[in-house]
Chain A
Amino acid sequence: MIGVADFSASLGGRQVLHGVSLAAGPGAFVAICGPNGAGKTTLLRGLAGLLAGGRTAPRRVAYVEQGARCAWGMTVRQVATLGRLPHGDRNDAAVERAMEACGVATLADRRIDRISGGQARRAMLARALATEAEVLLLDEPVADLDPRAAHEVMGLLAGQALRGGCVVAVVHQVELAVRYASRMVVMADGRIVADGVPSDVLGAAAGSFGMIVGQGARLLPLSDLNR
């Protein structure tokens, strides 16, 4: 459904991805984990067709970038309706469903710059869902959400996968990835170092990664932990 094979990419002369291969089909909810600078965002952008030589697939692949925001005080409904742009229609039913699923239907006529950060993030997600694309690519969809909202969004994404969609999301909170994702991909230094069922991956990753548990478990390189 979506994937890259032996994919390398450079940003500003520095190679950030080294021959990465990743493929995901219908029903998959892939959580990409790993420390900052591991190449997660670049991989997602590559999957979205945003890197040099790539091609976007507007109707098939919806993408929400890291820290997505709207430059203007558009209403939540106007933002969600942008998801219909690839189809060139204004399918109100699809927009309504998407806002409902993301829990922002009651905020439909509020300005996106006058609601909370978590609500705005879910409005951005509604925009992606409104496209009714087969594949959802999400860069840190639950960053800066409170725990409850984070669980709701992850549950929503798992539901998308259950209905036959394909979700690939960069997720820092390991416990959320373990609980909701069907597959976990761990990246470090531009390579995929582990890939599989989340519980297995965690066991395998324990060798090269330490885990700290505090406000939320995160995977960190051992070198960081030993500091």
Chain B
Amino acid sequence: MRWLWAALGGLLLVSLLVGAAGFGVPDGLILWQIRLPRTLLAALVGAGLGVSGAVLQGALRNPLADPGLLGIGGCAAFGAVVAFYWGMEAVFAPALPIGALAGAGMGCAVLMAFSGRALSGPSLILAGVALSALASALIALALTLAPNPFALAEITFWLMGGLEDRTLLHLALAAPVILAGCAVLVRVGGRLDALSLGEATAATLGVPVAQTLRLVAVGVALAVGGGAAVAGGIGFVGLVVPHLLRPVFGERPGGLLWPSLAGGAALLVGADVLARLGPLVLPLQQEPRLGVLTALLGAPFLVAIARRVGP
């Protein structure tokens, strides 16, 4: 565990030293206004995605569970798209993250309503799948009805996910939400262990199953929604991180929460450093989008894991 925190610390430092101008210690203004918010946001968003993935996979007893499964990220994106659509962010810059946060909040409320009173793993998954389908449909609708091509391009660009030009204001908006989500999620560890024996057995061990799943959904909504509000759509981190860590930390779901939190943060900070290095070392006009990069890196990893996992 210590090496993971050390790796995260190292990556944070590297992230502060890498920018459009290349390597080196930046001057104070750049450090505080540009590098620091971006670095901390990458760490926070990654931590939220990592711990959400670990908790969801544990709670649903499904190694394929991804925070995107609950549709909260999609709802946050829809909130952002609405802000774009009516040009709110042009008038009032924080309108975008605030709109996305509102979308995530509404998504969480709808998820709770969809999944009903007798919450179980399958009902939560079904509600989440329905919610993500709804969010994608609404986003597609907004895209087809976009008032001008410029808005269309901007929306598409944002949906790919990224952390460039984020400010301390973004950090101040997202950090409390993500941290609150993480705080909820790291506390359900022991209950996840019991849930790996099935919901009935967990109930006889004294685990309030429906309440736990509700906590999980709220925690994931906060951790992922807060992240999506400032970083757009970033996939694969929540799915891949727990898989990367299982061979090292064992498969007990409760034992994977802190490692996944640190690992998710390290992965996204590292990916964001790579994104910034892109134009410096490759003939690229601009940075590759962070969400595109995580998917590009994540897919081969997942294939490698799939080949290793036996029947």
Binding site for B on A (CB under 8 A): 45, 48-50, 56, 58-59, 61-65, 68-75, 78-79, 82-83, 85-86, 111, 124, 127, 131
Identify the closest chain A residue to B208 (Cβ).
A56
Chain B neighbourhood of A111, CB < 8 A: 251
Chain B neighbourhood of A64, CB < 8 A: 201
The 6 closest A-B pairs by CB, nearest first: A58-B206, A71-B61, A72-B251, A63-B204, A73-B251, A71-B196
* A-B residue pair count with CB separations less than 8 angstroms: 70
CA distance A86 to B58 in the complex (A): 19
Chain A neighbourhood of B200, CB < 8 A: 45, 48, 50, 63, 65
- With A68-B197, A82-B197, A85-B190 already in contact, the answer to whether A74 and B204 are too (CB < 8 A) is no
Identify the closest chain B residue to A78 (Cβ).
B252
CA distance A7 to B203 in the complex (A): 21
- Minimum C-beta distance from A82 to chain B (A): 6
Q: How many chain-B residues does the 8 Å CB contact rule pick out?
A: 20
Identify the closest chain B residue to A124 (Cβ).
B197
Identify the closest chain A residue to B198 (Cβ).
A65
B253 within 8 A of A: yes
Interface flags for B187-229 (1: CB within 8 Å of A; 0: not) read 0001001101110110111110000000000000000000000
Identify the closest chain B residue to A111 (Cβ).
B251
B250 within 8 A of A: yes
Q: Which of A50, A70, A86 contacts B196 (CB 8 A)?
A: A70
- With A75-B250, A85-B190 already in contact, the answer to whether A70 and B197 are too (CB < 8 A) is yes
* A58 & B193 in contact (Cβ 8 Å cutoff): no
Chain B neighbourhood of A68, CB < 8 A: 197-198, 201
Given contacts A56-B204, A71-B197, 15 further A-B contacts (CB under 8 A): A45-B200, A48-B200, A49-B204, A50-B200, A58-B206, A65-B201, A69-B197, A71-B198, A74-B193, A75-B250, A75-B252, A78-B250, A82-B194, A83-B205, A85-B194
Chain A neighbourhood of B250, CB < 8 A: 74-75, 78
- Minimum C-beta distance from A102 to chain B (A): 16
Chain B neighbourhood of A69, CB < 8 A: 197-198
Chain B neighbourhood of A71, CB < 8 A: 61-62, 196-198
Residues of chain B from 18 to 54 with CB closer than 8 A to chain A in the complex:
none
CA distance A69 to B193 in the complex (A): 13
CA distance A79 to B62 in the complex (A): 18
CA distance A48 to B206 in the complex (A): 11
Q: Which of A56, A86, A127 contacts B197 (CB 8 A)?
A: A127
Chain B neighbourhood of A72, CB < 8 A: 58, 61, 196, 251-253
CA distance A24 to B51 in the complex (A): 45
Chain B neighbourhood of A83, CB < 8 A: 205
Chain A neighbourhood of B197, CB < 8 A: 68-71, 79, 82, 124, 127
* B206 & A74 in contact (Cβ 8 Å cutoff): no
Q: Which of A74, A75, A85, A124 contacts B205 (CB 8 A)?
A: A85
Chain A neighbourhood of B251, CB < 8 A: 72-74, 111
CA distance A131 to B194 in the complex (A): 13
* B196 & A56 in contact (Cβ 8 Å cutoff): no
- Minimum C-beta distance from B179 to chain A (A): 26
Q: Which of B193, B194, B196, B204 contacts A61 (CB 8 A)?
A: B204
Chain A neighbourhood of B206, CB < 8 A: 56, 58-59, 85-86
Chain A neighbourhood of B252, CB < 8 A: 72, 74-75, 78
